[in-house]
Amino acid sequence: MGEEITNVPKKFKLSESGFTVLKNKNFRTLWTGYLFSFFGVWIQNITLAWVVVNQTNSAKALGTLLLIQFSPAMLLTLVGGSLADKYPRKKLLLYSQILILIPSIIVGIISINSPINLILLYVLVGIIGLAQAINNPVRQALIPEVVEKKDLAPAIYLNSTAFNIAKIAGPAIGGLMISLVGVFWTLTINNLNYLIMIIVLFFVKADENKKSDDRSSKGILKQISEGIKYSISEKRILIIMIIAIFLGTFGYNLNAIVPLVAKFILHATPAEFGLLTASAGVGSLLAAVILTLIQKTNLRIVGLGALGFSLALIMVGFSNSMLMASLFFSLFGFFGIVFFSSSNSLVLLKTPKEFQGRVSSIFIFLIIGSTPVGCYIIGHLSDIFGVKETIISFGILCLLSFIITRLIFYKVKDIDDLSRFSSGNN
C-alpha cells in the first residue's frame, strides 16, 4: 500500500494541530454557522419524531416520516453536486438554507393545533428534505473555497466535529425544550439556528477562483455522467465509492439500528435508548477530534475505518447487555466517522476543482442517499429472520465488501503524503 508519511510532528503541539485552521476568520465564521445549522437539524428531527410517535403511537407513521425526510437525498444529492460545480456555491447554500427555513417556520405554526395535520407535516418535511438534499453536497463543496488546500482535511474533520457535537447535544436540548416550553416554542426557537446560518453566509467570503471557471451550458445529466466517469477512472476514489455503497446501505442506518436493538434485543427503557444513541455520538465526536489533531488522510485510515466499522456492527448484533451495546455503539460511531470523514477528505483532495462538487455528491449519495433503502431492508429482514441475525449479517456484508474490494485493487498504492495534494497536485 506504500510507505506512509504523515504531517504529524515528532513532538506534538496543539498549536500545530488541525485546529489551527480555526485561526482563519473566514472558515471560523462558516464553521460557526454550520454548527448552528446542525443543531437546527437535530433538534427539529427529534421534535418531529416525538410529535408523530406521541400522536399516532405508530412505528409505521414514524417510518413514513423518515422515508419522506431522507428519500430526496436519493434523488437530488447528485443534482446538488452538479449545481455546486456550475453555480456559485455560497449562493446555492444560501438559497437552500432559506428553503429549509420557510417550511420549518410553517411546521412550527401548524404545531399550535393538536393533533397536528400529518399530511401537511409530511409535505413540509418533504420540502425540507429536498432542500437538504441540495444543501449537503454544496456545504461540503464550499469548504475548499474558504480554506487553503493544506487546511482542507482539518477543515473537513472540524465540520464532522460540529456535526457530532450537535448530534449528541441536539436531541437532548430538543427533549428538554419540549418538556419546558412545548412543541410550538421548541420548533419556533429552533428556527433561529437556520436564520443564524443564513446571516453568517453574508459575512463569509468564498474564493470562487479556487473553483473551475467552466460554467458551461452542459445539462445536469451530462455533468453527473462526467462526475461518475471521473470517479471510476481514479482508482483510489473508486475503491472508496465501492466500499461506501455497502457501508451506506447496510451499515449507516443508525436511526433504524438503535431502536431495533433497544426494543427487540435489550428491551431497553426510553432512558437506555437515549444512552445508546448518545454512545454512538460520543464515539463519533471523539473520532472527529482525533482526526483533526493528527492531520492525515490516506487509504490506510479509510480502510481502518471500514474494517472497524464492520466489526463494531457485528458486535452490536451480539450485544446482550447495555454495557456491551454502549461500548460497541461507541466504536460503531467512532469508526463510522473515521471512514466517512477520511474518505470525504481524500475524495476532495484527490479531485480536480471542476469535479469536486459532483464527486463529493456521489460519495454523499452512496452514504446518505442509501439510508431509506437500508432502513427498509433491515426492517423487513428483521421481521423475517430476527434483529440480531439481520444486524450480524449486515456487518458481515460490510466486512466482505471491504476485504474483497481491497483484494481486487491490491495493486493500487496508498496516498503517501497529504502535503503532495496540499500543494495543488492532483
- The pTM assigned to this predicted structure is 0.74
- Rounded Cα distance between 246 and 398, Å, is 6
* Distance between CA atoms of residues 345 and 151, nearest Å: 11
- Residues with Cβ within 8 Å of 253's Cβ and at least 6 positions away in sequence, in order, are 371, 374, 375, 378
Asked whether 228 and 366 are in contact (CB, 8 A), the reply is no
Distances (CA, A) of 112 to 107, 172, 175, 259: 9, 22, 17, 28
Q: Work out the angle at residue 19's Cα, subtended by the Cα atoms of residues 344 and 11, and round it to the nearest 5 degrees.
A: 105
Question: What are the cell numbers at 80?
Answer: 446538488
In angstroms, the CA 81 to CA 359 distance is: 7
Contact 156/143 with Cβ under 8 angstroms? yes
Burial of 323 (0-12, 13-18, 19+ CB in 10 A): exposed
Give the DSSP letter string of 223-290. HHHHHHHHHHHSHHHHHHHHHHHHHHHHT--HHHHHHHIIIIIS---HHHHHHHHHHHHHHHHHHHHH
Location of C-alpha cell 456550475: 86
Q: How far is Cα 77 from Cα 180, in angstroms, rounded to an integer?
A: 36
Is the Cβ–Cβ distance between 237 and 347 less than 8 Å? yes
Helix ranges (H only) for 270-414 are: 270-294, 299-318, 322-350, 356-364, 371-385, 387-408
Q: Give the pLDDT of residue 202.
A: 94
Give the tens place of pLDDT for each residue, 325-334: 999 999 998 9
- Cβ-Cβ contacts under 8 Å for 301 (sequence gap 6 or more): 291, 338, 342
Q: Has domain 219-426 been given CATH number 1.20.120.1200?
A: no
C-alpha cell at 345: 477528505
- 18-204: what fold? Growth Hormone; Chain: A; (1.20.1250)
Beta bridge partners of 5: 417
The residue assigned the cell 487546511 is: 151
pLDDT at 426: 40
> Same CATH topology for 18-204 and 219-426?
yes
Compute the distance between CA of residue 252 and CA of residue 243 in angstroms, rounded to an integer. 12
Domain locations along the chain: 18-204, 219-426
Q: Is the peptide bond before 115 cis (omega within 30 degrees of 0)?
A: yes
Where are the alpha helices (H) located in 22-58, listed in sequence order? Answer: 25-56
Torsion of CA 139, 141, 145, 147, to 10 degrees: 80
d(CA 422, CA 426): 9
Length of the chain in terms of residues written: 426
The residues that bridge with 417 in the sheet, in sequence order, are 5
Cα(122)–Cα(86) distance, integer angstroms: 31
Alpha-carbon torsion angle 367, 372, 375, 376, nearest 10: -140
Q: Using alpha carbons, select from 414, 294, 292 the residue that is nearest to residue 341.
A: 292
What's the pLDDT score for residue 242?
94
Residue with cell 473508486: 238
Q: Which of 244, 169, 207 is nearest to 401 (CA)?
A: 244
User: Is residue 426 a contact partner of residue 351, using CB atoms and an 8 Å limit?
Assistant: yes
Provide the phi-psi class of 211: left if phi over 0, else alpha when psi is between -120 and 50, else beta.
beta
- pLDDT-flagged residues of the chain (< 50): 1-12, 14-15, 213, 215, 416-426
Give per-residue pLDDT as tens, 154-198.
Answer: 888 788 778 877 876 777 687 778 878 888 999 999 999 999 999
Q: So what's the pLDDT on residue 1?
A: 37
Query: Which residues, in sequence order, are bridge partners of residue 404?
Result: none
Farthest CA pair distance, the chain: 63
Output the nine-digit C-alpha cell for 147.
Answer: 480554506
